[in-house]
Amino acid sequence: MPEQTWEATPAALTEIALDLRWSWNHAADELWRLLEPELWDLTQNAWVVLQTVSRKRLDEAFADPAFRAELESVLRERKENAERARWFDDGRKEALTAVAYFSLEFMLSEALPIYSGGLGNVAGDQLKAADDLGVPVVGVGLLYNQGYFRQHIDAAGRQFALRPVNDPGQLPVAPVRNAEGQWLRVPVALPGARVWVRTWCARLGQRRLYLLDTNDPANLPEHRGITSELYGGGPELRIEQERILGIAGWRLLRLLGIRPEVCHLNEGHAAFAVLERARDYMAETGVSFAVALAVTRAGNIFTTHTPVAAGFDQFTPDLVASRLREYAEIELGIPLADFLALGRPDGAGASEPFNMACLAIRGCSAINGVSRLHGEVSRRIFQPLFPRWPQAEVPVGHVTNGVHTPTWDSEESDELWTKVCGKARWTGEQEYVGENLRGVSHAELWRMRNAERRRLVDHMRKRLARQIAGHGGSRSEIEAARRVLDPDTLTLGFARRFAAYKRPTLLLWDPDRLLRILTSQRMPVQLILAGKAHPQDLEGQELIRRWIEFVRGSAARSQAVFLSDYDMQLAQEMVQGVDLWLNTPRRPWEASGTSGMKVLANGGLNFSELDGWWAEAWSKEVGWALGDGREHDTDPGWDKAEAERLYDLLEHEIIPAFYTRDELGIPAGWLDRVRESMARLTPVYSANRAVREYTDEHYMPAAKAFRERANDGGRTGAELVNWRREVELHWPHIRFGALHVEPGAGELTFTVQVNLDEVNPDYASVQLFADAAEPGGAPVVETMSRGPALVGCGNSFTYSKTVKTHRPASDFTPRVVASHAAASIPLECDKVLWYR
């Protein structure tokens, strides 16, 4: 990447174009518009604009005082941003120097199409927020030759998958070069061959995203295609992609001299990184793989986004053996059977598939879901890995996702937020912004919303006209497309991946009733839809076709549109302008959902199933909810009931609230919800909050724990390995003796005898356990005090504990759990013995 340049030169223009900060900062938008306005409006890709314009046009621009003044203004802003103090600088810099963030996809800008959907959205938004906050995160991903498929919908409503090539020369990335100027290529050994992995860098302000690709001329043709498609091909391609991501990705960081204390896995795809990190530590210190994993896992964090067990990547033992036997036996120094056990739920079943989530769990010190509800779901999913532990104690927490607000807010909302909260509102702690926003008048909010809706309608008309022209529509059809929608009508948005569990046709359950809602003369409604179905998901494609049939074949053609090729740019246009965002998944299969978060800053409201983030965010003051907070699986009777509830709420509450106006023509009740939603939810469901939470509650503790285990050549890691071996050897022989309970006034005293056999008493903790007193509460866990050794009874002790409680004694059960001051229990040792 070029060095930072502060003078108004062509080199500075190149540097600005290669810094994706322009995709959310917007300070340089006018520069690209002055150079090539039509291309900029169509692509929003600064690098493409700069690559496309002629030398003559650049010379003319630099000769224009207005252009030079604009460039100088952008350079001043960049310099001020680079030099400003950041949130992370306040007492954290010495404790954490680097976090490596691994993800199979990153959604940063439509200029860099290496994403599919929500997973990439989270990765990209968190990387941007890390730059805003100054958190030293380094991204690692893959540069796909074709990326995710592009969608074409024909006149019959059928989806076709197109795969245009990602020309690296047209992408805002640069080759990574070593000190001698040579392109940095990472070698990875495959059975019988070596694969060269090329490396690229995308800049996001002060942060870097390193991208790997195998399309190197020195590679065999089949190896050049490893990084061809995102979520394409079969398991053979996927395991190679994940090996490149995790193994070559970690090696690249070392070649660059980056030594992260923390490795953050964004989903299980990246789990091979924990093995390569351990191998790297082995090479550095000479310790065994077991010790290296014990040391390095302290600095590894696993975020799962998957709401069903079948959603994790799983590979057959034969496939893993064919691809990774040499890596296991030669580079890690462990038998293939031990390698396979790391990825199996029970660790021993010879026919069990190798599960990447299991590998991630066994290589990390902390695991989290992406919403409070998803944390509960994940504890249920991972229960088989901790079979003797209550579900509530399965070691999975949650950090609810958030979106990078500057990426998704509109020009109009940005102006309003800046007016009431200042320009730096999203770059540090932002708890104050809600109170400031509550002072905004109805009139100001209504002006903003009307301007956003007008802009949305203009964008949608242009897109629809281009879409119809693209599949050979007539001139009259194209002209009609330029008149669809109305800038003063209540506008609903629905856009996401079309899959059955998301129930994208729930709103279409009763087409006649929906048509009456849309075409009401007194309170009309309009609907904007978009979304892709996976190329192999025929059911999802049929759901798209049903919507296309409704939109094109009904009397609502001017009030309902389906836009093809749902991408980041279309998502931005929609979330900035719609009045109401719909989401109708089957609970609990929406792990978090971020699309509804994107409307918050723009004054859009949510109407969603009580699933994912909305299950914790919803209240009647900020939007509307579907569902009863319980799970109903695929019950068609429940789907019907929810569809009717959806229509009822729209007809009797939501639509009237929008059209009930005061003497100034303002919907005061609607705007009360808008104001409260913006003030209460925008700061909370932001990537700013999520990254600060990850930093303080995960990254900092993980970095500290890793350093402590790595001290003195990994001495603590070796102690942990020996501790676990001793515990596992002797644990089957531990026995409980007599239990006595003595009641008192508002308390119970428990005394129990335990024979620990040959287990060191410091390696076993005797506890009292009781289930939570109320649904959703935390279980009661009280550590019992150890008395003197019982005379003549070997390694036996009496343990006692007095508990202040009014619950019956039968609610409490003694248990013995493995214990070590440096270990995470039950993640690193799940041994537990229950009294009964």
Region 421-440 average pLDDT: 88
Residue 169 in domain: no
Q: Are residues 72 and 108 in the same domain?
A: no
User: Mean pLDDT in the chain?
Assistant: 94
Q: Are residues 447 and 570 in the same domain?
A: yes
The answer to whether the beta carbons of residues 27 and 21 sit under 8 Å apart is no
pLDDT per residue over 794-833, tens digit each?
899 999 999 999 999 999 999 999 999 999 999 999 999 9
pLDDT for residue 754: 96
Region 697-722 average pLDDT: 95
Please give the residue that has the higher pLDDT: either 3 or 300. Answer: 300
pLDDT for residue 347: 67
Q: Residue 143's closest CA among 172, 183, 181?
A: 172
pLDDT per residue over 101-120, tens digit each?
999 999 999 999 999 989 99
Confidence category of residue 8, pLDDT binned at 50, 70, 90: confident
pLDDT per residue over 717-743, tens digit each?
999 999 999 999 999 999 999 999 999
pLDDT for residue 236: 95
Q: Are residues 766 and 635 in the same domain?
A: no
pLDDT per residue over 384-393, tens digit each?
999 999 999 9
Question: What CATH number does residue 644 fall under?
Answer: 3.40.50.2000
For residue 606, the SS3 value is strand
% of residues, the chain, pLDDT over 70: 99
pLDDT per residue over 28-81, tens digit each?
899 999 999 999 988 888 999 999 999 999 999 999 999 999 999 999 999 988
pLDDT for residue 3: 56
Q: Are residues 324 and 379 in the same domain?
A: yes
Distance of alpha carbon 406 from the chain centroid: 17
Q: Are residues 77 and 138 in the same domain?
A: no
Q: Are residues 772 and 653 in the same domain?
A: no
Cβ neighbourhood burial of 746 (10 Å; 0-12, 13-18, 19+): exposed
Residue 162 in domain: no
Range of the domain at 387: 94-145+179-401+698-706
pLDDT per residue over 212-238, tens digit each?
999 999 999 999 999 999 998 899 999
Residue 723 in domain: no
pLDDT for residue 1: 46
The answer to whether the beta carbons of residues 787 and 328 sit under 8 Å apart is no
CB atoms closer than 10 angstroms to residue 291: 25
Confidence category of residue 147, pLDDT binned at 50, 70, 90: confident
Region 169-184 average pLDDT: 92
pLDDT per residue over 477-515, tens digit each?
899 889 999 999 999 999 999 999 999 999 999 999 999
Sequence-distant (6+) residues with CB within 8 A of 106 are 112, 114, 115, 120, 123, 124, 127, 139, 141, 209
What single letter denotes the amino acid at residue 364? C
Q: Are residues 638 and 785 in the same domain?
A: no
pLDDT for residue 731: 95
Sequence-distant (6+) residues with CB within 8 A of 89 are 134
- How far, in Å, CA of 569 to CA of 43, rounded? 9
Q: Are residues 529 and 486 in the same domain?
A: yes
Q: Are residues 245 and 315 in the same domain?
A: yes
Last residue of a domain, one of 616, 648, 682: 682
Confidence category of residue 428, pLDDT binned at 50, 70, 90: confident
Q: Are residues 285 and 366 in the same domain?
A: yes
Region 759-787 average pLDDT: 93
Question: What CATH number does residue 817 fall under?
Answer: 2.60.40
Residue 159 in domain: no
Residue 410 in domain: no
Judge whether residue 357 has pLDDT over 60. Answer: yes
Taking the CA atoms of residue 801, residue 807, residue 810 and residue 812 in that order, the dihedral angle to the nearest 10 degrees is -40
Confidence category of residue 348, pLDDT binned at 50, 70, 90: low
Residue 164 in domain: no
Sequence-distant (6+) residues with CB within 8 A of 665 are none
Residue 408 in domain: no
Region 514-542 average pLDDT: 95
Region 526-552 average pLDDT: 94
Residue 414 in domain: no
Judge whether residue 625 has pLDDT over 50. Answer: yes
Q: Are residues 560 and 673 in the same domain?
A: yes
Sequence-distant (6+) residues with CB within 8 A of 559 are 484, 485, 486, 489, 518, 519, 524, 525, 526, 527
Lowest mean pLDDT segment, chosen from 2-16, 274-288, 428-442 = 2-16
Region 397-405 average pLDDT: 97
Q: Are residues 316 and 463 in the same domain?
A: no
Region 285-311 average pLDDT: 96
Lowest mean pLDDT segment, chosen from 38-47, 174-183, 297-306, 489-498 = 38-47
Say how many Å lie between the first and final Cα of the chain, rounded. Answer: 63
What single letter denotes the amino acid at residue 608? S
Last residue of a domain, one of 613, 647, 682: 682
Judge whether residue 552 has pLDDT over 90. Answer: no
Last residue of a domain, one of 682, 714, 744: 682
Domain count, the chain: 4
Judge whether residue 294 has pLDDT over 60. Answer: yes
